[in-house]
Structure 1
Amino acid sequence: MRQRANRKRSGGGEGKDRWMITYADLITLLLIFFVIMYAMSRLDTEKYKSVSQSLQLTFHNSSGGKSVLEGNPGLTGSDFPNGADHPAASPAPSDSPAPSEPDSGGKSAAGDTPLTDRELAFRKQEEQLANLMKMIQQYVQENHLDNQIFVTDKPQGIAITLSDQFLFDTGKAALKPGSEKTLSRLGSLFSKLDTKISIEGHTDSLPIVHSSQYKDNWELSGARALSVLRYFIDTMHLDADHFQYAGYADTHPAADNSTAAGRQKNRRVEITVLRQLQQ
């Protein structure tokens, strides 16, 4: 009996101490967890420092001395790629040097690459067309021809539209004597250009009257364009190789043919100084 009591006491003591093992395991795991967390936080900090230093060095070299992380606008400011201004970029400080103008004497916009022969020719052509348009507009204003001659810059070239009332009598293709002064002025300007000039005749949609010498609007529009062409070639002796002509009847209306005002706009001759070079 005494031996059994001793065994019970010893067994009970061992059971009471078992929680110490579980507690020690828990403390050990917690310690390991915090050590790992600490090590990870240290690792992230080092990585951040390394990446930050690398970025600062990269943008420091590309932005002229000031780091992006220190306040330089970088790619969101004036240093937009390919030299273009970002639409949201703020204006440059007042003490910043002004951008240099493109060199028109054979340099590209960057100022360090010479323009090709084609680019130089294109630039010369655009200057000539701009001057031509300005001179014709001035002539129209000085001679009060605003309702008879219209000048517009179209993608294909400078278009000079002359009303049929200014050039011809109704249903006829012979030039009025009063129109020769204007055509002579235009011809003098064309003689200085080295490009193609297209002359196009247009009519309204009304059919030709029986008394006319022309069968239909196709013949009339073509004959009117040819009369203008003949003046430049036969009277002013301009180079025929620089001209072309066509008659389009009523197939290219400029306004509504259902009204008298629209039909008047459609009866016209268009002289277009063509753009022959495209960048």
Structure 2
Amino acid sequence: MSRKHRHEPHEEHADESWLLPYSDLMTLLLALFIVLYAASSVNTTKLEELSKAFKSAFSSGISIFDKATLVETGTVMDTRDDIRHRTNDGKKKSKDQLMQEEQQNLEKLKQQLDQYIKKNGLSSQLNTQLNQSQLLITIRDNALFPSGSAAIKPESQKLAVAIGQMLQQYPDYEVLVTGHTDDQPINTLEFPSNWELSSKRAINFMKILLQNPAFDPKKFSATGYGEYRPVDKSDSDTARSKNRRVEVSILRKYTDPASDENTKTLSAIANEGKVNP
């Protein structure tokens, strides 16, 4: 009778599937250390190349460097938004330099507008004013609209186009278009009050400006103030004519807070002390 050999049960093989995620994790950690090392390096050119490589490899749509800051010898460097605010030798411009540059740009734009106004005999219909907060272009309503209407006259549309062509030299500025009326009430099916009339006029003028493809609509806004922000508070026909207007404001990006407060204070004092004729 043959002797049966009893086989000892073999121990099951250990599950080694954990090695795959572990190896992926180690690869990512290695990549992280490479990124950290590169970020601490002074050579920003290589860092940008590395950023592009990672962005392309992972293709998640947004690079981790898009909003990150670069560190050089323990000092936080500027974001990419500040790169354009540098001098030719690579040094960052001070706020005073930026304010001075902006002042020169706005003065140049004002000069161009004034030359256009003079050349076309529009001194009685348009004027410009440069102050601490904006370059303000004021256009009388009779230069743009028929009485009681928000439709821009066909012959006046070229005025809006010309203004847009001059503004396109500085596309980074915020532009605010405001409509103003006199204190005479209006009550029509289209315009139940001066609020609607002034708002529609501002929007229609802004639309013509935005026909220029050089502009970013995100930087434009329009609003109507009705009769509530007059430049002349008297009740004469001349005053009402001044108050009916469209204003285009090119807003400064760099302002002096102290100057702004002083300007507001002086303006308030002047308004309080003004005697209406």
CA RMSD of aligned residues (A): 2.0
Q: Sort the Cα spacing of 1:236 and 1:130 in 2 relative to 1 into closer, same or farther, 3 A.
A: same
Alignment equivalent of 2:164, drawn from 145, 169, 187: 187
Query: Are residues 1:199 and 2:177 paired?
Result: yes
Alignment equivalent of 1:159, drawn from 133, 136, 142: 136
Q: CA deviation at 1:199?
A: 0.5
- Residue in 1 that maps onto 2:212: 236
Summarize the alignment of residues 112-127 of structure 1 with structure 2, pairs less than 5 Å apart. Answer: 116-127=93-104
Task: Report which of the two has the higher share of helix.
Answer: 1
SS in 2 for 1:144: coil
Query: Are residues 1:268 and 2:245 paired?
Result: yes
Distance 1:156 1:118 in 2: 15
Distance 2:165 2:127 in 1: 18
Name the amino acid aligned to 1:191. Q
Structure 1 unaligned residues grouped into runs of 5+: 1-104, 107-113
Query: Are residues 1:139 and 2:116 paired?
Result: yes
> What number of residue pairs does the alignment pair up?
167
**Aligned residues: percent identity?**
29
Summarize the alignment of residues 213-232 of structure 1 with structure 2, pairs less than 5 Å apart. Answer: 213-232=190-209
Q: CA deviation at 1:209?
A: 4.1
Give the conservation status (yes or no) of the 8 Å contact 2:227–2:243.
yes
SS in 1 for 2:124: coil
Give the conservation status (yes or no) of the 8 Å contact 1:148–1:166.
yes
Give the conservation status (yes or no) of the 8 Å contact 1:160–1:270.
yes
Give the conservation status (yes or no) of the 8 Å contact 2:176–2:221.
yes
Q: Sort the Cα spacing of 1:248 and 1:148 in 2 relative to 1 into closer, same or farther, 3 A.
A: same
Give the conservation status (yes or no) of the 8 Å contact 2:133–2:252.
yes
- Residue in 1 that maps onto 2:11: none
Distance 2:233 2:254 in 1: 33
Q: CA deviation at 1:154?
A: 2.2
Structure index of larger Rg: 1
Distance 2:167 2:216 in 1: 10
Q: CA deviation at 1:257?
A: 4.5
Q: CA deviation at 1:265?
A: 0.4
Give the conservation status (yes or no) of the 8 Å contact 1:167–1:176.
yes
Name the TM-score, length of structure 1 as normaliser.
0.56
Name the amino acid aligned to 2:156. S
Q: CA deviation at 1:232?
A: 1.4
Distance 1:153 1:230 in 2: 24
Name the amino acid aligned to 1:241. K
Name the amino acid aligned to 1:137. D
Distance 1:160 1:269 in 2: 8
SS in 2 for 1:249: coil
Query: Are residues 1:177 and 2:173 paired?
Result: no
- Residue in 2 that maps onto 1:85: none
Name the TM-score, length of structure 2 as normaliser.
0.57
Name the amino acid aligned to 2:185. P
- Residue in 1 that maps onto 2:66: none
Q: Sort the Cα spacing of 1:230 and 1:170 in 2 relative to 1 into closer, same or farther, 3 A.
A: same
Name the amino acid aligned to 1:236. N
Q: Which consecutive segments of 4 or more residues in structure 1 shift more than 6 A?
A: none
SS in 2 for 1:198: strand
Q: CA deviation at 1:220?
A: 0.5
